Amino acid sequence: MATLDVAVRRTADAGITANAQSLLTLDASGALVVIDFFAKAVIDGHGYQIRAGTVTTPLIGDTPLADLAAEFCVDATSGLVMIPVEQHISIRLGTGTLHEYATKSVATVSSAGAAFVLLPLVSTQSAASLTGRVAAAGGVTVTGELATTTLRHWSHSQPIAMGAYVSEQTWQPLRPPILIGARCVYTQIAATTTGPSYFANMDVLQFTTAQLGV
């Protein structure tokens, strides 16, 4: 198998990297190696994760889904940009009915809920400038939803009680939203009568507005 062992430097075209030296990587056949934007962003230390639930202790969702209430969120203040790239929700027990799960974003950061320090996807990278909150039963307070101001990114609903049937819900956006601070992305997990028990995580990329030119 060919190895990535050849690197060639050249001056980039104007407007790409401001005429700075760019590093091109070629494999042994001379083919140019092109890396996915999201993978490169993680390698460069832009990736972080928020999570809910540990080992065999899940969190319990809200009863029922309510405005202003979320299970977890990530906040970007002015000057920061976040890009949600992946989310997983594993329902451990869903005895309630009318299950409603959703991920949305608003232009106001959260105002209450236990703080969560985002985990770096590269273990040696710097601490995140983005902030997060995690709190069961809708314990994270976000701004009210309006059809004119709130983006809805993902949702799932299940009208009947699932019991012990395990449900795995994954959001991997084909075209992820570019959320420019101030901005809050949050996830709601709820059902009627009894809140579902769950484990969850969301991975986000963090940039500054200057880095993305937005």
> Is residue 30 in a domain?
yes
Quick one: 145 exposed, middle or buried, by C-beta within 10 A (0-12, 13-18, 19+)?
middle
Question: Do 66 and 170 belong to one domain?
Answer: yes
> Is residue 1 in a domain?
no
Question: Do 29 and 99 belong to one domain?
Answer: no
Cis before 64? omega within 30:
yes
> Is residue 78 in a domain?
yes
Condensed to tens digits (0 to 9), the pLDDT of residues 8-43 reads 555 555 544 555 666 777 888 888 888 899 999 999
Question: Do 19 and 118 belong to one domain?
Answer: no
What is the separation, in whole angstroms, between the first and last Cα of the chain? 41
Condensed to tens digits (0 to 9), the pLDDT of residues 95-127 reads 899 999 999 999 999 999 999 999 999 999 999
Q: pTM for this structure?
A: 0.88
CA distances from residue 132 to 120, 135, 177, 204, 211 in whole angstroms, order as listed: 13, 10, 18, 11, 22
Check which CATH number belongs to the domain holding 109 and give it.
Answer: 2.60.120
Question: Do 12 and 96 belong to one domain?
Answer: no
Question: Do 103 and 142 belong to one domain?
Answer: yes
Boundaries of domain holding 20 = 6-34
Question: Do 119 and 161 belong to one domain?
Answer: yes
> Is residue 10 in a domain?
yes
